[in-house]
Structure 1
Amino acid sequence: MNKNSTDKDTASENRGVSVGEVTNANVTNEQQPKFPKLFGLAMFIGPFVWLAPAGNVRNTLLPQYFSQIDPSGKVAAIAILASVTSIVAAVSNILFGALSDLTRSKFGKRKPWILFGTLIESGMICLVANLTNMLAIVICWGIVAAAENAVAAAMVAQEADRIAPKWRGTISTLYGLGYTAIQVVAMIAAGFLSNPKLGMYVMAGIGFGMGIIHVLLAKEPSNLDEPRDKFSWSTIWTHFSLPTSGSRDYWLAVLGKLAMVMGGTITNAYMLFVLTDYMKLSQGTTSKTLATFASIQLVLGLVFTAISGPIADKMGRLKLPVALSTAVLGIGQFFPFIAPHVWTLYAMTIMTAIANGVYNAVDGALNLAVLPNKETAGKDMGFINLANTLSQIAGTVVAGLIVTYLGGYRAIFPCAFAISLLGAILIMFIKKVR
């Protein structure tokens, strides 16, 4: 980084910058005066490429397949599969993000990883559909998880490479809408419970087809003209280590995300038992209530995701909507602590659906704005994704400890409230972005 750039970063940190002034962008607002519609569409279908096929096979079709091939061992197999997936995701997000940063090819730096990752993910899902040995399935699924996260890491990093700051909120919104829209694929997967093997083929086909469409729409150009880093220990350290220099705001964003996701996970991890054991609802009422909650979350999530990104772009603010949505999430989570009445859960669901919609639309743009080094965007986004994964695991563990040792299901809600508010406070301490 040259001296002028360093001085600009220092001045920005002292006074705070808006989304339109983010200094780590490869593309300036002047260089991209019009919204990149095709790239926006490519990012909308992004979650259909990696998350929709692998997630629905992992969460819906594989458990059903396990129950068919080994009913007595299905519970242990699912637990082992979840552990392997989490470990592989933690490593591969950072590894493949860093490798894509270093890639130079006529196809660009991200496209090869998206294409090869999609091909391997789809192919391994088809292979898993033809295996009957639990150990072999778990091993092969580790490869699926690595490929899945290679695609995710490279895909998200494209925004840092190719999108001007003023459009990042809208692009983040479209990606967030894709996250919500993949519930359509979940419905498709549920239709194959009687034939999970065929369902896995269908999921693999969806992922592969969407992967091809994504790279065609994204149109990543050659990057052979980009400078190549010489192999050295310094290069390895830069591209594979934790960000340190100029990374204060980056780590505040990471910790804020960890707290936000962890708070949400704490309340969701035992929602079924909250309804039956804390709210004392019957099984039939519980089923209908969960379905209603899902509908509320889908509708409000789509609406608030759709409007929040463009509004953030227009206002030139990213930190404030992310912090406010995290705080609203926490406030909503406090309601069920008031009384064991189902209306408190409806209040929580409405508030958290709105909060998640705003958060999903803008958080991605905030993460891009605080990246400490645009040359290591893939690796640094990998650490952010790692925080997301670890917070879900930690949230589930913490929820279990709270229920067991700290007062039962009712104690979940004030703990989630406190953790979420901590996340909002951490985000508000970010200086470089308004």
Structure 2
Amino acid sequence: MTQAQQQKQANRFLLLYALAAAGGAISYTPFITLLLPVRITAMVGSGDIEWLAYATFFGALASSGGNILFGWLSDKSGVRTPWIVAGLVLSSLLLLSFSLVDDIRLLVLVMIVWQLAVNMMLAPLTAWAGDCVPDVQKGTLGGLLSLSPALGALSAAFVTLPGLAGPDGRLWLVAGLVAAFVLPALLYGRPRPFPDLMDDTGMSRDAGHDERSATSPFTVARMWLARLLIQISEAALFAYLYFWFRTVDPVMTDARVAQIFSVILVVSVPVALTAGRWADRVNRPFLPLPVAAVGAAVGLLLMALSDTLLSAMIGYVVFGVSASVFLAIHGGQTLRVLPRPSNRGRDLGLFNLTNTTPSLVMPWLTLALVPVFGFSGLFFALTICAALAALLLLTLPRPL
């Protein structure tokens, strides 16, 4: 048994790291989901949807490339925290600079540069967990990562509270929240060193072409594709959920949809924490993943068959909780399967493509299916995606 398996990382670092990861979510969630659309509408009026599409599309491309680039640079430099600090400072300054932008084309350009700076912080921050958290705690780490989307959504609600701050003041609030969540881990985390987690030699012996190896190319590919399939399902729901609920019940309001979404976020955190800790305790690191993928498939199937608002909400809650747990646990266990610590940041950047690619795939999938088959056709297709994800993960090396 290696040193990394015998010892555990301090709980202090795990908790502070979870807050830092949540700070990463706060760095982009309020701005992209609320503050950016409002700012674009104020600038261009009726052309806001088109320009928002441009900004988010090119921003997603910059995010994808930036995550790989800065993950790779943090690998080559051999340090993570200086990159995290630099990204935190630059992304905060660029976020505040949006208040000075009065031209829509310039806004798109600043959006691209801001996304690069955000990923200068996020890429090494994600890889830092792989450097510091041994395999026996990666389930717990995944459970703690479920805090990120919940706190990201709560931050969006907080900064937009009526009377709290104006449009420019909200940018300052977001920047302050990000610093408050990220800096404690950098200043006070003091993680215990685990040399085995940084040793390419020991890892690479298991990383050949043996499909039974946890770090084989076959395992990595299945983990990547399974996450992509679940992310496609979640991206489709995120964009079109309100419209679907209105087809089930025309009196459905956006406030009620937001309440359902909040319930999912609240429930997902304890479920993910319980599943992650259980996986660590019984040494079944991957088992929660196919279980959660099956849960997502069941939820999507219920949604496809729903003809009442109650059944629709039940289906969405089942899907939402399952998908949230899947993505959180997957984030922790991905660190287990990457074959070489020296390329950890770069490889995590490639996994990050599963987060950005669905935004490019989802509109075409929706346009192809909904006009012909309705939302039920879309949900049946997404059910197949989630079921395929479960099947891919059931073939991972034992023990699951």
Tell me, yes or no, whether TM beats 0.5. Answer: yes
Give the AA of the match of 1:59. Answer: T
- How far off its partner does 1:222 sit? 10
Q: Secondary structure at the match of 1:102?
A: helix
Tell me if the contact between 2:29 and 2:152 (Cα under 8 Å) persists in the aligned partners.
no
Cα deviation code 1:285-318 (max 9, x no counterpart):
3335413412321221122123221111111112
Amino acid at match of 1:279: V
Q: 1:71 to 1:306 in 2, by over 3 A?
A: same
- 1:198 to 2:169 alignment: yes
Q: CA deviation at 1:118?
A: 0.5
Looking at structure 1, the residues matched to 142 and 77 of structure 2 have their Cα atoms a distance apart, in angstroms, of 24
Conserved in 1, the CA contact under 8 Å of 2:74 and 2:80? yes
RMSD: 2.6
- How far apart in 2 are the matches of 1:209 and 1:299? 22
1:310 and 1:369 map into 2 onto residues whose CA distance is: 15
Q: CA 1:323 to 1:164, structure 2 compared with 1: closer, same or farther past 3 Å? A: same
- Structure 1, unmatched stretches of 5+, are 1-20, 230-244
Give the structure 2 partner of residue 318 of structure 1. Answer: 285
Please name the residue that 1:29 is paired with: 5
SS of 1:113's equivalent? helix
Q: Deviations over 1:10-45 (max 9, x none)?
A: xxxxxxxxxxx7x9xxx6122x24x41221122221
1:430 has 2:396 as partner: yes
**Structure 1 residue 380, shift from structure 2 partner:** 0.8
Answer whether contact 2:30 2:152 (CA < 8 A) is retained: no
Write the letter of the residue equivalent to 2:382: A
CA distance in 2, matches of 1:400, 1:270: 11
Q: SS of the residue aligned with 1:407?
A: helix
Per-residue CA deviations over 1:72-125 (Å, capped at 9, x if unaligned) read: 332222111101111011111111111111113xxxx11011100000000001
* 8 A Cα contact 1:370 1:432, kept in partner: no
Asked if residue 46 in structure 1 is aligned to residue 13 in structure 2, the reply is no
Hey, what's the Cα distance between the residues in 1 that align with 2:368 and 2:270?
35
Q: In the TM superposition, what is the alpha-carbon distance from 1:332 to its structure 2 partner?
A: 0.9
Tell me, in whole angstroms, the C-alpha distance in 1 between the residues paired with 2:182 and 2:266.
Answer: 27
The whole-number CA distance in structure 2 between the counterparts of 1:197 and 1:73 is 22
Q: TM-score, normalised by structure 1?
A: 0.82
% identical equivalent positions: 20
Q: Within 2, Cα distance between the matches of 1:205 and 1:291?
A: 25
Relative to structure 1, the CA distance from residue 251 to residue 433 in structure 2 (aligned partners, 3 Å threshold; closer, same or farther) is farther
- Counterpart residue type for residue 250 of structure 1: V
Q: Deviations over 1:243-271 (max 9, x none)?
A: xx941100110001001111232334311
Determine if the alignment matches structure 1 residue 87 to structure 2 residue 86.
no
The equivalent residue for 2:363 is 396
Cα 1:334–1:117 shift into 2, 3 Å: same
Helix, strand or coil: the match of 1:372? coil
Runs of 4+ with deviation above 4 angstroms: 220-223
Match of 1:369 in 2: 336
User: 1:328 corresponds to which residue?
Assistant: 295
Shift of 1:49: 2.8
Asked which structure has the greater CA Rg, the reply is: 1
Distance 1:267 1:178 in 2: 19
In 2, the alpha carbon distance for the partners of 1:178 and 1:90 equals: 19
Please tell me whether the aligned partners of residues 267 and 399 of structure 1 are also in contact (alpha carbons under 8 angstroms). no
Paired letter, 2:187: L
Distance (Å, rounded) in 2 between the aligned partners of 1:337 and 1:360: 22
Check conservation: 1:192, 1:198, Cα contact below 8 A: no
Range with bigger deviation, 169-178 or 95-104: 169-178
* 1:419 and 2:394 are equivalent in the alignment: no
Say yes or no: does 1:216 pair with 2:187: yes
CA contact (8 A) 1:98 1:378 kept: yes
Name the aligned partner's letter for residue 112 of structure 1. P
Which of 210, 218, 227 aligns to 1:257? It is 227
What letter is aligned with 2:243?
A: F
* Whole-angstrom distance in 1 between the partners of 2:220 and 2:62: 23
Unpaired segments ≥5 residues, structure 2: 201-214
Q: Which moved more, 1:133-142 or 1:343-352?
A: 343-352
Are residues 433 and 253 of structure 1, via their aligned partners in 2, closer, same or farther at CA, if it must alter by over 3 Å? farther
How far residue 280 of structure 1 moved from its aligned partner, in angstroms, is 3.7
Amino acid aligned to 1:131: V
